[in-house]
Structure 1
Amino acid sequence: MPGCLSASDDPAAISLCADHLAIAAELHGLQHGASDPLPEPCVLCGSRLGIRLPTGWTCAVCEWPYGEHPDAEFAAPRVDVVYYLRYGDRVKIGTTVSPRQRFAALWHDEVLAFERGDRRLEHRRHQQFHSARAGTSEWFHLTDEIRAHVDVLAGGVDPWDRWRRWMAEATAIR
C-alpha cells in the first residue's frame, strides 16, 4: 500500500505525512478516547488524569464519569494504609484511613510510601525496625534497612497515585 507523497523517510514511522498522521490520530482518539487532563480533579479519587471519549470525560484512574457526583448515601470506601513519613532523618510509621487529614496534623518533609494494611501490619513493621526506633514513639531513624523497605514499597510510583488506585479499586468493588 503506497504512502503519502511527503511521507517520512524514517523506516520505523508509519508511511504518512504529518497532516495525514494527525488526522489518523484524531480519528483514533474519537473512536477509542484520548488522554488529557481533566478540567478539574475527579470528585471520587482526586486524579487529574482523564480520558476524553465521544460520550464525555472519564477519570483515567477510577473511571468515574466526569461531571457526575456520587450519591449522598455513597460513603467513601475504607482503605487502611500503613504510611511512611520522613521528617529530617527520621521516619514515622503509622496507619490511617484518611492520609490527607492525618498528615495535616503531622510535621513532615515527605510522604515516602504507603502499603495496604491496618494496625496489625503497623505493629509488625514497628517490631521489624525496632532497633531503629526513636524512644517509644512511632518515629524511627532512617536507616539503610528502612530506606530499602520503603524503596521496595514505593517501586518508583508516587505514593498518592498508589493510594488513589487503591481507593478506585475499592470503589469499583462496591
Structure 2
Amino acid sequence: MPSVARRCSGAGAGGSCAGEVPADAPVPLCDRHLALAHDFVDDDSGVVDLAEEPCPACGSRLAVRYPSGRACGVCEWRFGDVVDSELPAPRVDVVYYLRFEGRIKIGTTANPRQRLARLWHDELLAFERGDRQVEHARHVQFAACRLGRSEWFDRSPELEAHVALIAEGQPDPWDAHARWVSAALSLRV
C-alpha cells in the first residue's frame, strides 16, 4: 500500500499550511512549523553551548543561552553579573560523605576544597547542604555503624541508601556545591 503524504496541521496568518510533513516528524508539522516550535521551546528552556569565558562563580565553561541572556550551565550564575571581589566569599556549610576503603566519613565544613585536601579518601560520595546540626543528626541516625566516637562509619545498606538519595540526579557533588555558592553570591548582587 503506497504511503500517503501527510499535510502540516499548522496554521498561519493565511489559514492552514499546505506543507508536507517529514516522514520521521514526531508531530504532523512541516519543517517550517517544526522550526518555529523548536525556537519557541528554546526561548523557555534555553540552548546549551560553551561560554566565551569561565563562569565567575564556579569556573565552568558550560552555558545556557536564553533570549534574555546567558547563564552558567552548572551553577546558573547570570553572565554579566559582577562578583564583588571586596566581599568575602559566602559561607556555604556542607555535610560531606567520603569513602575510604570500607568506611564512610560524615563531616562538615564551610570550605570543602581545603578540608577534603587534608583528608585521606578514595572518593567523595556526596555533599548535603547543612551545618554541624545536620552533621550531628546524621551521626545519630547512623550510630549503629559508627566506629567509636569518630566521624567514620562502617558501610551499611541504610547509610549507602541515604548517600545515594542525596547524590541522586547529581553525579558530581562539586556541581551541587557550585550552585549553592552561586545562589549565595547572587543574593548579594
Q: CA, structure 1 residues 12+3, in 2 after alignment: closer, same or farther (shift >3 Å)?
A: farther
8 Å CA contact 1:45–1:62 kept in 2: the answer is: no
* Equivalent residue, structure 1, for 2:7: none
Query: Matches of 1:21 and 1:47 in 2, distance apart?
Result: 35
Tell me if structure 1 keeps the 8 A contact 2:57–2:178. Answer: no
Match of 1:59 among 72, 78, 87: 72
Q: Give the distance between the partners of 1:83 and 1:100, measured in 2 at CA.
A: 11
- Alignment pair present for 1:15 and 2:1: no
Q: Which runs of 5+ in 1 are unaligned?
A: none
Q: Note closer, same or farther for the CA distance 1:30–1:128 as it changes in structure 2 (3 Å cut).
A: closer
> 5 Å matches for 1:95-110?
95-110=108-123
Partners of 1:11 and 1:173 in 2: CA distance = 44
Q: What does 1:63-74 align with in structure 2 at a 5 Å threshold? A: 63-65=77-79, 69-74=82-87
Task: Give the length in aligned residue pairs.
Answer: 170
Q: Distance in 1 between matches of 2:183 and 2:86?
A: 19
Work out whether residues 98 and 122 of structure 2, in 8 Å CA contact, stay in contact via their aligned partners in 1. yes
Q: Does 1:133 align with 2:137?
A: no
Q: After superposition, what is the alpha-carbon deviation per residue over 1:59-85, rounded to whole angstroms, capped at 9, x for unaligned?
A: 24333315x652221322111111101
State how far apart, in whole Å, the 2-side matches of 1:140 and 1:75 are.
Answer: 34
SS in 1 for 2:105: strand
2:17 aligns to what?
2
The secondary structure found in structure 1 opposite 2:133 is helix
Map of 1:164 onto structure 2:
178
Q: 1:27 and 1:125, CA in 2 relative to 1: closer, same or farther beyond 3 A?
A: closer
Q: Which amino acid aligns with 1:2?
A: C
Q: Which has the larger radius of gyration?
A: 2
TM-score by length of 2: 0.73
Deviations 1:81-109 (A, max 9, x none): 11101112111100011212211111222
Cα 1:156/1:45, change in 2 over 3 Å: same
Counterpart among 102, 125, 129 of residue 116 in structure 1: 129
CA deviation after TM superposition for structure 1 residue 155, in Å: 2.1
- Please, which moves more after superposition, 117-126 or 28-37? 28-37
- Structure 1 65/8 Cα, relative in aligned 2: closer, same or farther at 3 Å? same
Give the superposition deviation at 1:48.
3.3
Contact 1:47 1:164 in 2 (8 A): no
2:112 and 2:167 map into 1 onto residues whose CA distance is: 16
Q: Deviations over 1:22-46 (max 9, x none)?
A: 9658966996652213244312123
1:83 maps to 96
State the SS of the aligned residue for 2:88.
coil
3-state secondary structure, aligned to 2:128: strand
Give the TM-score normalised by the residue count of structure 1: 0.78
What do residues 114-160 of structure 1 show as CA deviations (whole Å, max 9, x unaligned)? 11211122122112222212233211111111101111222232322
Identity of paired residues, percent? 46
